[in-house]
Amino acid sequence: MQLKNSETFKNLARAFAGECMAKTRYEYMAYGAKQEGYCELAKMIKQVANQEFHHSRMFYSFIQTADKNAIDCIEVEAGYPFKEKWDLVDNLKFAANDENEEATRIYPAFAETARKEGFKDIAGLFENVVQVETCHNKLFTDLYNQLSQGKLYSRPTAVKWKCADCGYEATSKEAWKICPLCQAKQGAVMLKLNDNN
Cα–Cα distance, 151 to 18 (Å, whole number): 31
* Min CB(192)–Fe ion separation in Å: 21
Q: Which is nearer to Fe ion, 98 or 184 (CB)?
A: 98
Cα–Cα distance, 160 to 156 (Å, whole number): 12
DSSP letters, 118-164, are: T-HHHHHHHHHHHHHHHHHHHHHHHHHHHHHTT-TTEEEEEEEEEBT
Q: Angle at the Cα of 51 (from 142 to 122), degrees rounded to 5?
A: 115
Contact 186, 152 (CB under 8 A): no
DSSP letters, 46-101, are: HHHHHHHHHHHHHHHHHHHTT-SS----------------S-HHHHHHHHHHHHHH
* Min CB(140)–Fe ion separation in Å: 8
Neighbour count for residue 148 (Cβ, 10 Å): 14
* Min CB(99)–Fe ion separation in Å: 5
* Min CB(81)–Fe ion separation in Å: 12
Q: Which is nearer to Fe ion, 65 or 131 (CB)?
A: 131
Q: Which is nearer to Fe ion, 54 or 151 (CB)?
A: 54
* Min CB(67)–Fe ion separation in Å: 24
Cα–Cα distance, 163 to 175 (Å, whole number): 9
Q: Which is nearer to Fe ion, 132 or 147 (CB)?
A: 132
> Would you tell me which residues interact with Fe ion (CB under 5 A)?
19, 52, 55, 99, 133, 136
* Min CB(15)–Fe ion separation in Å: 8
Q: Which is nearer to Fe ion, 60 or 176 (CB)?
A: 60
Q: Which is nearer to Fe ion, 25 or 55 (CB)?
A: 55
